[in-house]
Amino acid sequence: MNSSKTAWLLLSPTIVILIIVGLLPFLYVLYVGFFNWMPLGKNKEMEFINFGYNYRELVFDKFFIDSVWRSIRFAIVTLALELTLGFLLALSLLSSFPLKAFFRSVHTLPLVIAPIVVGAIFKLFLVQGLGPIPFLAKELFGFKLNYMSSEAQAFWTIVVMDVWHWTPFVTLTLLAGLSALPQDPYESAKIDGANNFQIFIYITIPMLVPVLIVVIFIRMMDSLKIVDEVWMLTAGGPGYSTRFTGIHIWKEVFEKRTYGYGSAMSVLYLYITIVICWILYSVMVSRGKANEDE
Amino acid sequence: MNKVLYKTFSVVIWSLFTIITLFPIYWMILVSTRTPVQLYGKPNLYPTFLEKIHWKNYTRPFVDGVFGDYLMNSIIIATSNALLVTVLAIMATYALSRYKIAAAETIFFWTMTNRMAPPAAFMLPLFLLFTLVFKYGDSNLFDTKIGLILLYCVFNLPFAIWLLKGIFDGIPKDLDEAMIVDGANLFTIISKLIVPLAAPGIAVTALLSFLFAWNEYLLAATLTSVYARTIPTGLSEFVTTTGTEWGTMAAVAVVSMLPALIFLALVQKYIVSGLTFGAVKG
């Protein structure tokens, strides 16, 4: 048998499955996005409307645009917190101290817990009348903690939950990157009399750029697609305070059954995440290159 | 002196983080072992499960209720998906690793983009395809285990191929050629040479695939209604019911967390490379 034929034969089941459940949904959502289709409303059947009408509506849809900004704000806030915290923890793990292996194992734990379970854990932990945290906040500080009644508290509760869940990812990835750095530059820097702070800024950070890109890229993508935990904890409320884009699409599509418009939303959502990550990626890669050139 | 101070400081900080990590989980376990009366009033942090466990929280959903079925569905879906992904990934990776394919890079990149896309953008088209397009007579893919098993391949195959590619590339091609000279066919080469040599990597791939399928919520929730519901979708049913039974909810959450704990014990070393697509060796 021809060898390239064998190769394609081996690849074919993978490609077929990815086309059926990966590519086809994508093409289908592009297609439906050009129609007016509300099975429960006045457009029971698909009806073609003015080319791109749904998208024109979408750009001026305040609720959708707000949800996108909310997601971006959330992604940036959590990224900043997780990166700072994770970096410090990763640096501390470079030197040895008692019980280090135990601490690291426990730190890995949140990573394998399902997002929906994390939502449940935090609900049990923070809900009024059951969780210990609202009780302690009231007893110790006289602070009224109820994430279901305050918009700001709801948003920051989700942020805290995300930090709890994903900081370990940043820590462990950066630790892996830090441990793999070559030692020579550090030695020559020390001989030249650089202090620890200078070494960190001028040697560690630039050398770590490729790993930082990976971390920021993955965390950004994940934050932009957050749904499960939020759905479990606040279901997008109170008001619109935690209605991130994924949740917004879910509510719009499955409560109002606006298939055509919902498809347009899905496409734009996909497009926005791709563009953000592409911008981020090219900025960081060019920054990394500039650093190398110096 | 300075060093001792630094070590103490590290231990203190890490103890704090360990408490922050474990405290919510500990509280969930406490809630899952208590009666509603015990949960009323001031939160009690004493480990009452050492004295008495309120097993009804566990038996009510899993023995008397539908969660036994959900658990079975989760096990079937996650196991089948892990097996399917592993077999397909071994075949695909062997092809990408051993043959010169013109479009190899493109295929590789395309499978990656599948993994990175937000599931929320795909739930509507998948829902429509599963209910209206992929059907034969009266039966369709909606609310079937097969549907979810196939669907999770989109997310699991890319990273399985990514993970295995590095391992397969490390196995010298001379070994393949020696076997071909001895008259071995492709199946023998893969099953007798590649699989035994790459066994640890294949095990990790299967476990990570299992975990993803086990943990996935959003698509399972939108693409099932009665017969193929998984544990995570069952967990979310507690959100809408008025007067939530916290003990039962905690028990279900504890059970759905169990495979994760076993998994953590087995492959902790590989989690980082698994989560970063092998871009960073952990």
Q: Which residues span the domain enclosing A273?
A: 54-117+147-293
DSSP string, B88-122: HHHHHHHHHHHS--TTHHHHHHHHHHHHHS-GGGT
The number of folded domains in chain A is 1
In-domain check, residue A7: no
Q: Is the pLDDT score of B239 beyond 80?
A: no
Q: Is residue A16 part of a domain?
A: no
Judge whether A238 and A182 are in contact, CB under 8 Å. no
Q: Is A2 on the interface with B (CB under 8 A)?
A: no
Is residue A208 a contact partner of residue A177, using CB atoms and an 8 Å limit? yes
A29 found inside a domain: no
Q: If you average pLDDT over every residue of chain B, what do you get? A: 85
* Cα A132 from chain centre: 28
| A180 near B CB under 8 A | yes
SS (H, E, C) A107-176: HHHHHHCCHHHHHHHHHHHHCCCCCHHHHHHHHHHCCCCCCCCCHHHHHHHHHHHHHHHHHHHHHHHHHH
Q: Which of A18, A20, A124 sits opposite B250 (nearest CB)?
A: A124
Residue B36 CA, distance from chain mean position? 32
Burial level of B57, CB count in 10 A (0-12/13-18/19+)?
buried
* Partner residue opposite A116 with nearest CB, options B6, B236, B281: B236
B116-123 mean pLDDT: 83
pLDDT value of position A79: 95
Beta carbons of B147 and B81 less than 8 angstroms apart: no
pLDDT tens-place string over residues B64-73: 888 999 999 9
The mean pLDDT of B264-274, rounded to a whole number, is 72
Tens digit of each residue's pLDDT (9 = 90 or more) over B137-159: 778 888 888 999 999 998 888 88
Kindly report the CATH number assigned to the domain that includes residue A152.
1.10.3720.10
Are the C-beta atoms of residues B49 and B33 closer than 8 Å to each other? yes
Judged by a CB distance cut-off of 8 A, whether residue A261 touches chain B is no
Decide if A262 is inside a domain: yes
- Across the interface, of B111, B232, B264, the residue whose CB is closest to A116 is B232
| Cα–Cα distance, A182 to A199 (Å, whole number) | 13
CA distance to A6, A74, B10, B239, per residue, from B255 (Å): 44, 30, 34, 17
Q: Which residues of A, range 235-254, sit inside 8 Å of B by Cβ? A: 235, 245-247, 249-250, 253-254
Mean pLDDT for chain A overall: 86
Residues of B in contact with A225 (CB under 8 A): 118-120
Least confident of A126-135, A272-281, B125-134: A272-281
Do B215 and A114 meet the contact criterion of CB atoms below 8 Å apart?
A: yes
Task: Establish if A252 belongs to a structural domain.
Answer: yes
pLDDT at position B282 is 45
Size of chain A in residues: 294
Give how far B88 is from chain A: nearest CA, Å.
Answer: 6
Phi-psi region of B119 (alpha: psi -120 to 50; beta: other; left: phi over 0): alpha
pLDDT at A116 over 80: yes
Tell me which residue of B128, B213, B92, B76 sits closest to A16, measured CA to CA: B92
Q: Do A21 and B151 touch (CB under 8 A)?
A: yes
* Residue A204 is assigned to a structural domain of this protein: yes
Highest-confidence range of A144-148, B13-17, B96-100, B164-168, by mean pLDDT? B13-17
Least confident segment among B35-39, B101-105, B131-135: B101-105
Give domain status of residue A231, yes or no. Answer: yes
Report the distance separating Cα B94 and Cα B116, nearest Å. Answer: 23
Burial class (CB in 10 A: 0-12, 13-18, 19+), A127: middle
Residue B269 CA to residue B281 CA, distance in Å, equals 10
Distance to chain B for A28, nearest Cα, Å: 6
User: Which residue blocks in chain A are alpha helix, DSSP H?
Assistant: 3-18, 24-32, 53-59, 62-92, 100-112, 115-126, 132-136, 151-179, 184-191, 196-199, 205-224, 228-233, 245-256, 259-293
Give the model confidence (pLDDT) of A60-87 as tens digits: 889 999 999 999 999 999 999 999 999 9
- Domain for residue A183, yes or no? yes
Residues of A in contact with B133 (CB under 8 A): 28
Number of residue pairs across A and B with CB atoms under 8 Å? 273
- Listed ranges A278-287, B137-146, B235-244, B249-258; the one with the highest mean pLDDT: B249-258
CB neighbours of residue B244 within 10 Å = 15
Average of pLDDT values for A232-254? 88
Write down the ipTM of this complex: 0.88
Task: Lowest mean pLDDT of B90-94, B107-111, B161-165, name the range.
Answer: B107-111
Is it the case that residue A292 has pLDDT exceeding 60?
A: no
The residues in A 44-83 lying below 8 A from B, measured between CB atoms, are none
Chain B residues in contact with A130 (beta carbon < 8 A): 31, 39, 43, 246
Q: Which has the closest alpha carbon to B210: A12, A112, A169?
A: A112
Instruction: State the smallest CA–CA distance between residue B189 and chain A in angstroms.
Output: 13
Q: Does the pLDDT at position A1 exceed 50?
A: no
**Residues A81-107: pLDDT tens digits?**
999 999 999 999 988 888 888 998 899
B251 SS3 class: helix
Do residues B131 and B56 lie in contact, with contact meaning Cβ atoms separated by under 8 Å?
no
What is the average pLDDT across B99-118? 73
B130 pLDDT higher than 70: yes
